Every structure is written in C-alpha cells, then in structure tokens.
C-alpha cells in the first residue's frame, strides 16, 4: 500500500502548493475508520481508497478530489457520518463523499425501469459536481484491476455493468485511456478465450513481421525531421477488446483486419498539426473515408485531434492521430482537465470543456422524458460517434452517426423539426430517412400547419428528436383522449353507484403511479387503461360485489343443458383463459385450456370438439390449480408461504413435497382460485418472497381425463 508521504509526493509532482496536512489527516482518518476491515483478497480494506486516490493523481486532480477518494467509503462502510466528515474536512469534501456514496448504492445493472430511474439519478449527481463521477470511475477501475478475488458470478455481473455503463461513460467524458482499460478488464472476465486468442495472434504476428510499431514510428520521425518539424511520436498496438469489436462489427478474421496499430504525433501548435498531416499524406497514401478533423470541429467533451488512416509499411493500414500538447492533455483527461493542476495552479487549458455545459447537454431533457425514453437516449448519446453537417448559412450542427435530416431539423429548433416537410442535401431533395455524412450541407423545408407523424419516431436517432416528436404526438391527441376518458370514467363510476369526482380521479391516479387526473383520463381515453380498472383501484370489493355470481356447476356457455362439464386435471383451466371442450363417452364434456398438449391426440377427431366460453361475471374460488414451488429449507418459510396465499384470499386444498435437499424443498401446492387474474395475484405475491427460488404452474399430463 502507498504510504501517505508517497501519496503526497505524487500530488506535489503537479501541485507543489497542495494542502499536505489535509491529505495526511484524511489518510489517517480513513485508515482508522476502515481498521479491521479486509477486501475479498484478504488485504486491508484501506488499500482500496488509497489506490483510488493514486489513480486520480494521474489526472492531476485537486486536493478535494484526492481527499474524497481516501474517504469515499467511510460513510457507507464505517461508523463515520456526513456530519463527521463536514466537521473534520469541510462541506465541499462531505458533499463529494456523500455523492459517491449515493452513486455506489445505485443498482445500475438492475431491471429496465429501475435502471432508467437510477441513470437519471446518476446524471443528476453528475450535474451537481462532476468530480463525484471521476472518483466513482477511479473506484470502478481499481475494483476491476483486482476483480479476480471475487466469486465468478460476481465478476461477470461487475464486468457486464462496467462494459455497458462505466466504460462508455468514461469515453463520453473524453477519458479514452480509462475507457479502453475498463473495456479490456471486462473483456478479460467475460470472454477470456477470445482475448487470449487475440494476444496469441499478436505474438505470432510480431515473430513474423518484427516490431512494426518501432519501424513505423521511426519512419514518421524521419519524415518530420526532413520537414524540420519538432514533434513527439508514439505508437502502440490497439487493445484486444478494440480489435475484437472491429472483428465483430466488420465480420472479419484477425488476418484480414488492417488497422490494428495506432500512432500519435504530438506537436507545439495547430499550424504544425496541419503541416504534419501534409507530410504524412505526401509520404503515404491516405485511405479514403478515414479522415476526421476534430481540431476544427471538436467533440462535445473537448476532444480535439486530426485522425487519418494511411497505408504504411508493407501496405499495412495504420491510424495516425495528430494533436498539440494542450489538446493531448484534454484527450487524456477529458472533462477532468477542467480541474487539472500544474505548478500549484489550476491549469488554464483553452481546450478544456466547461463541465457544467457538458453535463447540461446530457441532462437538458431530464424532466421532459419518461424513464424508458431517458435510458434509451442516454445510451444513444454515450455510445454514438459523430458527424458534422452544415446549415445553408455555414453553421455547424453536430449529430451522432446515423442521424437523418429530421435529427438535423430538431437539433436547430423543435419548432423547425415539428414543421419539417422535406429536406435537401447539397442542393438535392432527399427522403427524410436519408443518413447524413460528414461535411454535407443540409437545408430543411418547413410548412405552416405541418405536425410530426408517428412514423418519424423510427426515422430519427437522437434523443432530442425522439422526445420532441413523442411530446408533440401526445399533446395533439391528449385533448381528444381526455374528453373521451371523462365519458368512459363517468359511465364506469355510475355503474357502481359512485361519482367520478376530481378528487376520486386524483386519488386513483396517485394509486396507479400517474402524474394527475388528466394523465389518467388521457390514458383511459386512449385505451391504455380501462375505466373499470380505475374503479377497481378505488373500490375493489364494490366492483367484485357488482358482478353477478356465476353458478359453479354451470360456469361455461356452449353446451346443451343436459350435458355435464368438468375441468381437465392435466391443464386445470381457469376463468379468463381460452378453453375448448372434448366429449368423452359416459363422461360428458371435459374442458381443456386451448394450449393444453393433451389436445394433440384429438386433432383428427374434430367431431368431439365443443366450442366453450367462460360465463362473464364473478366466479367462486373453487377452481383448483397446482403450483410448483422451490423454497429455502429454513425455519418459518413454509408458514410464510401459506400466509401469503391466504392474504390473497386463496385457499390451500392440498400440499405435497416432491424433493427435499439440505438447502431447499420442492413441493406442489393445490390452491383454490376464482380466475386467471386471481392466479396472477397469488403468483406475484409468492415471486416477491425472497425465500421462493422458483414458482411455476404445475401441469401433469399423466392426469389425463
């Protein structure tokens, strides 16, 4: 573990005026709080916060961020509190530590709707102070570097979460080195065979061709010396995951992959960047379509560089990146360059992006979109590459790759997007679904009274455009749906002798997780929610009582009066499910669920089939259904299961164990139910119980009629 004086020395390398006493106190406090705690590897736990702090010194970050790294797990994992941190280290550090703690508690790899809400919280935390996410990324990087001490299933979960969320986020923030390392560490866990295969092929390639990187680096240096340009030249083979991704995207074998080497030329001025580009293109042939000028058109995270791909030595394709030293600092640190220190003062890098503006570009639509839309749009923006197009006046519009003229229109203004009727690219009229390319000039043609079409959702790719189209479509239909919803709700409430008052509708909306009564009425009018469901939310017992009770002896329609009917024991059909009857000599009619496998043997005996339907109304809870349960072998579990079933007003008519193991039981429970909705309520309640490992409907084909 790095001791405190070595850590302070790392900070003093870039910030001689650092507050060494503050770092010493944080180091001592963190060590004391984590005393006795160990990591999965058996090391003292405090080695982790110290390593996170060391990673952040590589980005030359301020004292508050380094101290936060040392303390980032104290509130979550020790007896330390927010008040303690504020008292001893100040409010700025306490806010940062609290922010990291909240991010740690977000389950970003959870179910879709919950993941969307947690993404929203993640971006809101970032909008308050971006240093919170810098500490969290360093925390994840160290955890991935030391992941081998975790259980295999935990390793896989953390690696997937890193690959899907943290690596793209690091890339979106401009920290490309961190993105590449996070991806490669995740790749090592998720697909070690593929990674090892690529590394072996690299070693074979080096034996066959020699050190290509050293040779090409020498060639570039020689050409620059001839042109009397001072610059540093670096080369490297690309990371295994980067190569793997290219192989998958282009469906190429390793032997056919060309640009597996990358070179970087770092010079003193912007003018030198373009001189170097000329030298390289004069010496080697440029590959068409592989030139990007991010100097004149920088990325939103501040990244500036010229990218070109050329056919180098022996015809091998190599990518060359050309940038100034200041641009290189931003390319390495990304948005974090805003906090970088040099010689004791905040570095004034003209290319460092303002973090507040960067986060605002991601969070400006937070309150306008629902959870799923937000998640979709955030992922789009994190993963997207960019194209740059021009308005007729020459202004530049930056869009993700795959964008269309409609995306271009909405990027200019929502009003222009909504009114779009057609578009011209480089003076030629094109369909609205045309994919834009770098450097094209786009003209949008609008018309008064034009409104967005529902089909536009499938045409656009940007989150801004999708959100604006959905909002416009909702607003256009909302008034009509609300009026219709009022009439439907009034009729449904009258049916049970109640009034559809504003207060009643407001209460129902709250119970159903909706914004207000107008939102509820709009959904009723658009048939997303039935009026009966609204009444049931407020008066469940009243709705049940209003329904006419069905005779349990004659629960279906479609048979002659004298015929008897019974449920098939193999599939145990319930009211609400589609059914069919099969006649049996001397046994009357047996009803089966329409998907019952037992029906296969009657396919050619159509004369025995009877078209049956359940009677509408309130069925008695007399229809037995068998449930197959796997539960923990622990005291009190079976009692809780029986209580849960009883709470759903269902009766257990039989119970039998089919398997007993030291850690679990498997059993069949026969439950008497009203209908398929009642079954759903019981199964949902059981699925939510932590001691229920598995639940399914038990169907026994050996019990044919």
pLDDT tens track for 332-382: 777 666 666 655 555 565 666 665 665 666 555 544 445 455 555 555 455
Residue 110 confidence (pLDDT): 46
Least confident of 256-260, 264-268, 389-393: 256-260
- Tokens found for residue 513: 């997780």
Radius of gyration of the chain (CA): 33
Burial class (CB in 10 A: 0-12, 13-18, 19+), 158: buried
Query: At a CB cut-off of 8 Å and minimum separation 6, what does 445 contact?
Result: 420, 421, 422, 423, 424
CB atoms within 10 A of CB 405: 28
Instruction: Look at the pTM and tell me if it is higher than 0.75.
Output: no
Longest dimension (CA), the chain: 106
pLDDT for res 523: 82
* pLDDT for res 463: 76
- In this structure, which long-range contacts are made by residues 360-367, counting pairs with CB atoms below 8 Å and at least 24 apart in sequence? 360/127, 361/300, 362/123, 362/126, 363/123, 363/124, 363/126, 363/127, 365/463, 365/464, 365/467, 366/120, 366/123, 366/124
Q: Which pLDDT does position 310 carry in this prediction? A: 87
Give the lowest-confidence range in 106-115, 255-264, 624-633.
106-115
Rounded to an integer, the average pLDDT of 675-703 is: 82
Domain 194-346 has CATH 3.40.50.2000: no
What is the spatial distance between Cα 16 and Cα 233, in angstroms, rounded to a whole number?
A: 29
| Pairing of β 306-311 and β 651-660 | unpaired
Mean pLDDT for the stretch of residues 388-413? 85
Per-residue confidence (pLDDT) for residue 338, from 0 to 100: 62
Catalytic residues: 76-77
Q: What per-residue confidence (pLDDT) applies to 690?
A: 74
For the chain, give the mean pLDDT. 82
* Residue 232 confidence (pLDDT): 93
H or E segment to which residue 540 belongs? helix 540-546
Average pLDDT score over residue span 10-30: 91
Q: What is the model's pLDDT at position 551?
A: 76
pLDDT for position 67: 94
| Spatial distance between the Cα atoms of 496 and 94, rounded to a whole number of angstroms | 56
pLDDT of residue 124: 62
What residue segments make up the domains of the chain, in order of their start?
4-190, 194-346, 471-546, 563-705
Predicted confidence at residue 402, as pLDDT, reads 83
Please, which pLDDT band fits residue 294 given cuts at 50, 70 and 90?
confident
**What's the CA gap between 429 and 442, in Å, rounded?**
10
Do the two domains 194-346 and 563-705 of this chain adopt the same fold? no
What are the backbone dihedrals phi and psi of residue 653, each rounded to the nearest 5 degrees, phi first? -100, -20
Residue 57 in this model has a pLDDT that exceeds 50: yes
pLDDT digits (tens, 9 = 90+) for 529-574: 878 888 888 887 666 555 566 777 788 888 776 778 889 999 999 9
What pLDDT does 237 receive? 79
pLDDT-derived band at 113, boundaries 50, 70, 90: very low
The arithmetic mean of pLDDT across residues 42-56, rounded, is 92
Q: How confident is the model at residue 112 (pLDDT cuts 50, 70, 90)?
A: very low
* pLDDT-above-70 percentage for the chain: 85
CB 481 within 8 A of CB 522: yes
Residue with tokens 């050409």: 223
Q: 140-160, pLDDT tens digit by residue?
A: 999 999 998 888 888 988 898
The CATH H-level superfamily of 4-190 is Hypothetical protein af1432 (1.10.3210.10)
Span 85-98, average pLDDT: 90
CB atoms under 10 Å from CB of 228, counted, come to 7
Task: Quote the CA–CA distance of 154 and 106 in Å, as a whole number.
Answer: 16
Report, as an integer, the average pLDDT of 89-103.
87
CA distances from 669 to 132, 270, 623, 697 (A): 50, 76, 13, 10
Instruction: Please tell me the distance from the alpha carbon of residue 164 to that of residue 158, in angstroms, as a whole number.
Output: 10
Q: Taking residues 390-414, what's their average pLDDT? A: 85
Who has greater pLDDT, 690 or 556? 556
| Pick among 3.30.70.260, 3.40.50.300, 3.40.190.10, 3.40.1190.20: CATH of 563-705 | 3.30.70.260
Contact 176, 242 (CB under 8 A): no
Task: Say what the pLDDT of residue 492 is.
Answer: 81
Q: Which DSSP category does 347 fall into?
A: -
**Which of the two residues, 166 and 423, has the higher pLDDT score?**
423
Number of other CB atoms surrounding residue 195 within 10 Å: 19
Mean local confidence (pLDDT), 429-447? 88
**What integer pLDDT is reported at residue 547 of this predicted model?**
56
Lowest mean pLDDT, pick from 124-128, 182-186, 228-232, 601-605: 124-128
265 confidence band (pLDDT: 50, 70, 90): very high
- Residues 374 and 120: their CA atoms lie apart, in Å, by 8
Lowest model confidence (mean pLDDT) among 244-253, 321-330, 428-437 = 244-253
Total Cβ atoms within 10 A of residue 327: 26
What does DSSP assign to residue 677? Answer: H
Tell which wins on pLDDT, 56 or 495: 56
């Amino acid at each position: 573990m790095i001791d405190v004086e070595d850590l302070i020395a790392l900070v003093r390398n870039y910030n001689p005026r650092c507050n060494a006493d503050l770092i010493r106190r944080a180091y001592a406090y963190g060590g004391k709080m984590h005393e006795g705690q160990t990591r999965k590897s058996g090391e003292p736990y405090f080695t982790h916060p110290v390593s996170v702090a060391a990673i952040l010194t590589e980005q030359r970050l301020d004292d508050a961020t380094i101290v936060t790294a040392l303390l980032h797990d104290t509130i979550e994992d020790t007896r330390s509190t927010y008040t303690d941190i504020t008292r001893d280290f100040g409010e700025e550090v306490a806010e940062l530590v609290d922010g990291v703690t909240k991010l740690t508690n977000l389950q970003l790899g959870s179910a879709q709707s919950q993941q969307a809400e947690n993404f929203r919280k993640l971006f809101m935390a970032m909008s308050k102070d971006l240093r919170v996410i810098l500490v969290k990324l360093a925390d994840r990087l160290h955890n991935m570097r030391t992941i081998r001490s975790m259980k295999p299933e935990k390793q896989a979960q953390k690696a997937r979460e890193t690959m899907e969320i943290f690596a793209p986020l690091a890339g979106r923030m401009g920290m490309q080195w961190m993105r590449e390392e996070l991806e490669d560490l995740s790749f090592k866990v998720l697909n070690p065979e593929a990674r090892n295969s690529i590394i072996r092929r690299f070693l074979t390639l080096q034996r066959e061709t020699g050190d290509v990187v050293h040779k090409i680096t020498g060639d570039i240096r020689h050409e620059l010396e001839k042109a009397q340009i001072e610059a540093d030249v670096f080369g490297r083979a690309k990371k295994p995951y980067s190569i793997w991704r290219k192989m998958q995207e282009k469906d190429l074998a390793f032997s056919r992959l060309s640009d597996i080497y990358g070179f970087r030329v770092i010079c003193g001025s912007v003018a030198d960047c373009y001189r170097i580009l000329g030298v390289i293109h004069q010496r080697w042939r440029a590959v068409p379509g592989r030139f990007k000028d991010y100097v004149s058109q920088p990325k939103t995270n501040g990244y500036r560089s010229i990218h070109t791909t050329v056919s180098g030595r022996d015809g091998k394709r190599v990518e060359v990146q050309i940038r100034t030293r200041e641009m290189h600092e931003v390319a390495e640190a990304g948005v974090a360059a805003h906090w970088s220190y040099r010689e004791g003062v905040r570095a004034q890098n003209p290319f460092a992006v303002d973090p507040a503006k960067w986060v605002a570009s991601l969070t400006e639509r937070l309150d306008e979109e629902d959870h799923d839309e937000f998640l979709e749009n955030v992922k789009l923006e994190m993963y997207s590459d960019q194209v740059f197009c021009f308005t007729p006046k020459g202004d530049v519009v930056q869009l993700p790759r795959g964008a269309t003229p409609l995306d271009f229109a909405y990027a200019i203004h929502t009003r222009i997007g909504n009114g779009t009727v057609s578009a011209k690219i480089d003076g030629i009229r094109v369909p609205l679904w045309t994919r834009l390319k770098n450097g094209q000039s786009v003209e949008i043609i609008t018309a008064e009274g034009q409104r967005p079409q529902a089909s536009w959702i499938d045409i656009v790719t940007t989150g801004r455009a999708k959100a604006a189209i959905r909002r416009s479509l909702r607003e256009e239909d909302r008034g009509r749906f609300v009026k219709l919803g009022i009439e439907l709700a009034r009729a449904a409430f009258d049916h049970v002798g109640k009034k559809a008052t504003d207060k009643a509708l407001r209460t129902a909306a709250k119970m159903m997780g909706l914004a207000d009564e107008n939102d509820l009425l709009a959904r009723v009018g658009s048939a997303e929610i039935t009026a009966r469901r609204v009444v049931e939310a407020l008066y469940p017992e009243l709705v049940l009582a209003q329904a006419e009770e069905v005779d349990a002896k004659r629960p279906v329609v479609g048979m002659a009066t004298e015929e008897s009917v019974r449920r098939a024991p193999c599939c145990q059909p319930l009211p609400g499910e589609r059914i069919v009857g099969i006649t049996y000599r001397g046994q009357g009619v047996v009803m089966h669920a329409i998907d019952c496998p037992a029906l296969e043997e009657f396919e050619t005996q159509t004369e025995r089939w009877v078209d049956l339907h359940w009677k509408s109304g309130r069925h008695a809870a007399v229809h037995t259904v068998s449930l197959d349960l796997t539960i923990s072998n622990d005291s009190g579990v079976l009692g809780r299961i029986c209580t849960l079933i009883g709470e759903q007003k269902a009766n257990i008519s039989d119970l039998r164990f089919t398997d007993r193991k030291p850690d679990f039981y498997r059993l069949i429970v026969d439950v008497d139910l009203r209908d398929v909705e009642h079954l759903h309520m019981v199964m949902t309640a059981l699925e939510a119980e932590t001691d229920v490992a598995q639940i399914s409907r038990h169907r026994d084909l050996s019990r044919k009629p």
